[in-house]
Amino acid sequence: MSSPAATELECIVIYWLGEMIMLPKSFLFKGNGGGVLQGTTCEAILCTLAAARDQMLNRYGSEKMEKLVVYGFDQTHSALQKAVQIAGIHTKNFQAIKTMKSNSFGLCPNSLRDAVHADVKAGLVPLFLCTTVGTTSTNAIDPIGPLCEVAKDFNI
């Protein structure tokens, strides 16, 4: 509303980018998808976390807010912890899962599964998983596919 010309330009540029990287039509504005450009990764993490939080609270009710858990690992950028705080999720519900040199400091899917399973057993609600491709400190790369399978199993 405040800048319709800039909004239209942003939509066009995102559409071009989506076509350039061959996204399916369902991800593009003309296919009921779309998106926005974020100024920083920090903004993007906060926006996706807030969207996940709102979707989960709409599904289960606002009384579950104190039970929402966010997962990352000990190599995840500090922007995730900051986003957790800004989004109103209690800092004790941020799980920084320990990594090891043996898996090149990437998040191990079995470690994630164990942590999520323990949280579910404790009555907590798994909300969000932040994976990383190239951390700042060690350039660790998470095994995205296997982590997505764990997330899918727990509706994260």
Residues 6+ apart with CB under 8 A from 79: 41, 42, 45, 46
Average pLDDT over residues 32-56: 88
Rounded to 5 degrees, φ, ψ at 44 are -65, -45
> Confidence band (pLDDT; 50, 70, 90) for 138?
confident
Percent composition of the chain: helix, strand, coil (DSSP 3-state, to 5)? 55, 10, 35
**pLDDT score of 7:** 81
**pLDDT score of 43:** 93
Residue 153 has pLDDT above 90, yes or no: yes
Residue 11 has pLDDT above 90, yes or no: no
Fold of 39-153: Aspartate Aminotransferase; domain 2 (3.40.640)
Strands of 54-123, DSSP E: 68-73, 94-97
pLDDT over 70 percentage in the chain = 99
- pLDDT averaged over every residue in the chain: 90
**pLDDT score of 20:** 93
Average pLDDT over residues 8-33: 85
**pLDDT score of 72:** 92
Average pLDDT over residues 14-40: 83
Residue 132 has pLDDT above 90, yes or no: no
Q: Tell me the pTM.
A: 0.80
Per-residue pLDDT reduced to its tens digit, 77-118 = 889 999 999 999 999 999 999 988 888 888 999 999 999 999
Question: Residues 54-63: contacts with CB within 8 Å, 24+ apart?
Answer: 56/125, 56/127, 60/125
Q: What are the sequence ranges of the domains in the chain?
A: 1-37, 39-153
